[in-house]
């Protein structure tokens, strides 16, 4: 079996090289048949990668411990679902998943675009082939998942922290996101290579970008929820390099999704867009590098790791290639359209982009600073939470405000009268909310208060937009409200789906502000019968129980919860001691108030021999809005992604006219 897997990977490598070399030659010399064969090689490489992946899956399912990778990440007792997720439990399997997802995206993207954007696909094929060559090389030569060893009686098992439903879904979602960004990048580079620098590459990849961006966002929220529920330190995001690794490309992709609209509508920002998509893709490579090369622990361990230097080289090649191509095509990318006013939709989008990129780059700086300072000064310096929190506030809060302004402000040049008409109502709502919140005592945290006021403003603009659109339809057609609303969204999926996504970001902001700016925490050692007060709750420690679970000894402390004299039942918190892995894990107790979105979060930090327990208890207002935001985010993305026949026709006409223009040999 191992031979089959290895052969499939070598075949993938060969096909990728063919797509790169022959595809590049065919595109350069304009050989149509040859280009088609290169494209087919790229598609075929997906199937050969699939074979390799299936061999590894079969290895896991059949407990084939002669495969070193299976022996190192599985065991006979491991439940079957986790045998599948053990696939990406280590480095080699993760790389194979990367390549599989990449080739899947590549095959689908070039196949679906083969007719409509044929002259682009010719150049996209070698770019995607080039990326695949890099990963296939790592898998064939440096870090093979099919290394064979004399089979041990049993495998060494999967790390307990990965034996968890979140760790089955979360990595796949993240990889779908990271790798998906390769598609818009490849199309952008293809457009630059072909010398056709109009916005067709953007139109051809809009859906792919949104799919990748959605997956990356959902993957991160799943990770955050995992950290919150399972890791149990009382938070959901710690600015860990591994977390930042996914956040940075997401921010860059968010900026890209916004700025391409300006190019589509006004033909501006061409250089900026190819730069952003390159940034997003290179950051996703950098993210994989961060999590996989060990560079986070120290530069020393990085130079010892087998794939680290290769990966760094790969990133350098990608950056140099992207910068070189943009530099080369700079004359063709220049646009005539100029920004007419600093108060216009174009300008609002530009500010949005600057803030997103600024946030992204400051996070990059903070994440890379330990490595940079170690390399430059020989002394590792680390920046902590205050650094990241500061920049999240200073750039994030204006972004939140812009989310309300950008979609409503007029194109080109906004007039004062127009501004008053559009924003008077939302501004009044925001002001009233702010005053009301101060009266309620929310003034204890200025960033929190600002976040809430801005959130109210944005929500008011969104509600206003939906109401206005529905009313206009009703006036025109006389439809009942639900029909009018449904058709309104159906006819303008991109616009209203976008509003829904914006609403989800507002929910996220409210949740983050509520749980970080207005949380309360108390800790203390309690004997049985003693109580602890926190954020309006009163907890009484009742009893301590111990029982033997399947693979762990489970200790649980039982607490009575009361608020304002009302009995709210009990909550359990404790620890599991895993015998085989010799590891203790906190099992936190969470009591959710579904009406207010507030969580009572109990950690039994330390269970003492005399039966006393040291508790740490958080009250986190509105934290559940963060998870709700994930669902709303998904809904909004699905709305914008839903196939739209009218849009297809509009694009078809546009493609046709674009082809006519580009068929006249003038550009090259």
d(CA 513, CA 519): 9
Nearest to 325 by CA among 187, 136, 179, 129: 187
- SS3 of residue 616 by DSSP: strand
d(CA 30, CA 230): 56
d(CA 561, CA 535): 12
Q: DSSP letter at 410?
A: P
- Least separation in angstroms between CB 241 and another protein: 9
C-beta separation of 74 from 163 below 8 A: no
Tokens of 39: 């494209």
C-alpha R_g of the chain: 27
C-beta separation of 426 from 464 below 8 A: yes
Nearest to 205 by CA among 187, 191, 217: 187
Tokens of 322: 């992207």
Q: Print the SS3 string covering 292-352.
A: HHCCCCCHHHHHHCCCHHHHHHHHHHHHHHHHHHHHHCHHHHCCCCCCCCCCCHHHHHHHH
Instruction: Identify which of residues 381 and 435 has a Cβ nearer to another protein in the complex.
Output: 381
**Binding stretches for another protein (CB under 8 A):** 89-91, 159, 161-162, 231-233, 242, 291-294, 296-298, 300-302, 304-308, 339, 342, 350-351, 354-355, 358, 362, 365, 369-370, 373, 379-384, 386-387, 390-391, 394-395, 523, 525, 582-586, 603, 605-606, 608, 614, 616
Instruction: Identify which of residues 27 and 355 has a Cβ nearer to another protein in the complex.
Output: 355
- Least separation in angstroms between CB 51 and another protein: 25
How many degrees, rounded to 5, is the angle at CA 21 between CA 19 and CA 22? Answer: 70
Instruction: Identify which of residues 104 and 524 has a Cβ nearer to another protein in the complex.
Output: 524
- Least separation in angstroms between CB 95 and another protein: 11
Residues in Cβ contact with 509 at an 8 Å cutoff, skipping those fewer than 6 apart: 396, 400, 451, 454, 455
- Least separation in angstroms between CB 614 and another protein: 4
Q: Is 317 exposed, middle or buried (0-12, 13-18, 19+ CB in 10 A)?
A: middle
Instruction: Identify which of residues 208 and 226 has a Cβ nearer to another protein in the complex.
Output: 226
- Least separation in angstroms between CB 381 and another protein: 4
List the beta bridge partners of residue 544.
557
Instruction: Identify which of residues 111 and 351 has a Cβ nearer to another protein in the complex.
Output: 351
Instruction: Identify which of residues 24 and 241 has a Cβ nearer to another protein in the complex.
Output: 241
- Least separation in angstroms between CB 405 and another protein: 16
- Least separation in angstroms between CB 379 and another protein: 6
- Least separation in angstroms between CB 9 and another protein: 19
Instruction: Identify which of residues 616 and 620 has a Cβ nearer to another protein in the complex.
Output: 616
> Chain-centre distance of CA 7, in angstroms?
33
Nearest to 345 by CA among 459, 258, 271: 258
**For residues 222-254, b (16+ Cβ closer than 10 Å) or e, as one string?**
bbbbbbbbbebebbbbebebebbbbbbbbbbbb
- Least separation in angstroms between CB 421 and another protein: 26
- Least separation in angstroms between CB 221 and another protein: 18
Instruction: Identify which of residues 198 and 605 has a Cβ nearer to another protein in the complex.
Output: 605
Instruction: Identify which of residues 186 and 414 has a Cβ nearer to another protein in the complex.
Output: 414
C-beta separation of 46 from 3 below 8 A: no
- Least separation in angstroms between CB 427 and another protein: 24
Instruction: Identify which of residues 189 and 355 has a Cβ nearer to another protein in the complex.
Output: 355
Instruction: Identify which of residues 63 and 373 has a Cβ nearer to another protein in the complex.
Output: 373
Nearest to 267 by CA among 337, 187, 323, 182: 337
């Amino acid at each position: 079996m191992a031979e089959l897997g290895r052969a499939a990977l070598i075949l993938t490598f060969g096909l990728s090289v063919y797509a790169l070399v022959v595809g590049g030659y065919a595109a350069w010399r304009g050989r149509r048949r040859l280009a088609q064969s290169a494209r087919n090689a790229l598609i075929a490489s997906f199937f050969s990668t699939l074979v390799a992946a299936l061999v590894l899956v079969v290895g896991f399912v059949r407990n084939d411990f002669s495969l070193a990778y299976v022996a190192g990440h599985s065991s006979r007792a491991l439940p079957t679902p986790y045998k599948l997720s053990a696939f990406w439990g280590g480095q080699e399997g993760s790389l194979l998943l990367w390549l599989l997802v990449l080739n899947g995206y590549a095959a689908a993207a070039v196949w679906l675009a083969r007719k409509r954007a044929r002259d682009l696909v010719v150049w996209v094929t070698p770019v995607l082939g080039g990326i695949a060559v890099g990963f296939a090389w790592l898998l064939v030569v440096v870090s093979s998942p099919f290394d064979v060893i004399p089979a041990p009686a049993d495998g060494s098992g999967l790390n307990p922290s990965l034996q968890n439903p979140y760790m089955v879904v979360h990595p796949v979602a993240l990889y779908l996101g990271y790798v998906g960004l390769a598609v818009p990048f490849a199309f952008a580079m293809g457009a630059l290579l072909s010398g056709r620098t109009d916005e067709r590459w953007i139109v051809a990849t809009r859906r792919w970008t949104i799919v990748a961006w959605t997956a990356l966002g959902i993957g991160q929220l799943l990770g955050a929820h995992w950290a919150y529920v399972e890791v149990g330190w009382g938070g959901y995001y710690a600015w860990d390099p591994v977390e930042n690794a996914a956040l940075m490309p997401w921010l860059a992709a968010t900026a890209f999704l916004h700025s391409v609209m300006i190019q589509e509508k006004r033909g501006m920002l061409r250089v900026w867009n190819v730069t952003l998509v390159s940034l997003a893709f290179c950051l996703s490579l950098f993210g994989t590098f961060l999590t996989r090369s060990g560079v986070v622990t120290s530069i020393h361990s990085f130079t010892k790791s087998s794939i680290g230097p290769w990966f760094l080289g790969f990133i350098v090649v990608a950056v140099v290639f992207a910068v070189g191509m943009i530099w080369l095509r700079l004359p063709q990318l220049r646009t005539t359209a100029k920004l007419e006013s600093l108060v216009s939709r174009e300008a609002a989008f530009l500010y949005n982009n600057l803030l997103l990129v600024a946030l992204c780059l400051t996070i990059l700086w903070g994440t890379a600073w330990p490595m940079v300072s170690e390399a430059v000064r020989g002394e590792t310096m680390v920046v902590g939470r205050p650094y990241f929190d500061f920049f999240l506030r200073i750039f994030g809060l204006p972004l939140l405000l812009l989310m309300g302004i950008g979609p409503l402000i007029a194109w080109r040049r906004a007039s004062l009268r127009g501004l008053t008409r559009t924003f008077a109502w939302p501004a009044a709502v925001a002001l009233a909310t702010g005053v009301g919140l101060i009266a309620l005592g929310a003034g204890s945290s200025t960033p929190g208060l600002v976040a809430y006021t801005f959130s109210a403003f944005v929500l008011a603009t969104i509600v206003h937009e939906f109401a206005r659109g529905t009313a206009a339809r009703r006036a025109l057609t006389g439809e009942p409200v639900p029909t009018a609303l449904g058709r309104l969204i159906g006819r303008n999926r991109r616009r209203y789906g976008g509003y829904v996504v914006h609403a989800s970001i507002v929910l996220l902001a409210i949740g983050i502000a509520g749980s970080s700016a207005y949380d309360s925490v108390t800790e203390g050692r309690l004997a049985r019968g003693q109580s602890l007060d926190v954020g309006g709750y009163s907890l009484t420690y009742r009893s301590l129980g111990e029982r033997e679970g399947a693979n762990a000894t489970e200790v649980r402390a039982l607490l009575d919860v009361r608020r304002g004299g009302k009995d709210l039942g009990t909550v359990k918190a404790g620890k599991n001691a895993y015998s085989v892995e010799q590891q203790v894990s906190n099992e936190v107790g969470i009591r959710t108030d579904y009406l207010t979105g507030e969580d009572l979060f109990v950690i039994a930090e330390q269970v003492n021999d005399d039966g006393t327990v040291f508790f740490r208890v958080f009250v986190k207002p509105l934290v559940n809005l963060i998870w709700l935001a994930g669902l709303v985010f998904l809904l909004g993305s699905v709305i914008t992604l839903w196939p739209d026949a009218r849009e297809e026709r509009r694009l078809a006409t546009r493609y046709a006219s674009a082809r006519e223009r580009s068929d006249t040999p003038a550009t090259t």
